[in-house]
Amino acid sequence: MSYVITTYQPHYKEQIAELILSIQQIEFNIPVTLADQPDLLDIENFYQQRNGNFWCALNDHHQVIGTIALIDIGDQSGVIRKMFVHADHRGGEAKVAQQLLNTLETWAKHKNIKRIFLGTIDRLHAANRFYRRNNYDQMEASALPDYFPRMYVDNTFFKKEL
């Protein structure tokens, strides 16, 4: 299976929302709706500001199979959001998640971002292992900077110095 990583374009908006909501609601039974995530309706203005960006992994048929976003929160810091990969494309040789993360980190370094934070949910064991494997250190919520945009469902936090 081949795929490409590309910067967000508006014609992917519907596919992105479908992918993310299906993973959140159906696969992981997380009680979140599109209304709870207005950022998905305005990706350009929410993520593609200052040194932030949003990327999609596309399969050979130009279908969105993965996403990742970086929010520039100032102070040479960024936050990973919307890291999702369709179940059929996780793990294995394709390494879609790894390539999405590598793309984000390369961008962040180029944009002089020195540290990256993220929030996730403790029961997403594979995601937590993935971040630890990529040298993200788990941290207490109380140690997050005041300017960290916390999502109400997140209860596990990580940080990486670039």
Q: What is the mean pLDDT of residues 42-50?
A: 95
The per-residue pLDDT of the chain, averaged, comes to 94
pLDDT at 101 over 90: yes
Q: Which of 103, 95, 37, 41 is nearest to 69 (CA)?
A: 103
Report the alpha-carbon distance of residue 144 to residue 89 in Å, rounded.
32
pLDDT of res. 55: 98
pLDDT at 93 over 90: no
Output b/e per residue, 49-87; b: 16+ Cβ within 10 A: eebbbbbbbbbeeeebbbbbbbbbbeeebbbbbbbbbbe
pLDDT of res. 94: 72
Report the alpha-carbon distance of residue 26 to residue 36 in Å, rounded.
16
Backbone angles phi and psi of 77, in degrees to 5: -125, 150
Are 54 and 17 in contact, with CB atoms under 8 Å apart?
no
pLDDT at 125 over 80: yes
- Delineate the domains of the chain, giving CATH numbers in brackets: 3-161 (3.40.630.30)
pLDDT at 1 over 80: no
Q: Which of 21-25, 27-31, 70-74, 77-81 has the lowest mean pLDDT?
A: 27-31
Q: Which of 84, 92, 151, 94 is nearest to 124 (CA)?
A: 84
3-state secondary structure string across 103-119: HHHHHHHHCCCCEEEEE
pLDDT tens digits, one per residue of 131-146:
999 999 999 999 999 9
Report the alpha-carbon distance of residue 48 to residue 157 in Å, rounded.
23
Q: Which of 144, 157, 72 is nearest to 113 (CA)?
A: 72
Bridge partners for 115 per DSSP = 77, 161
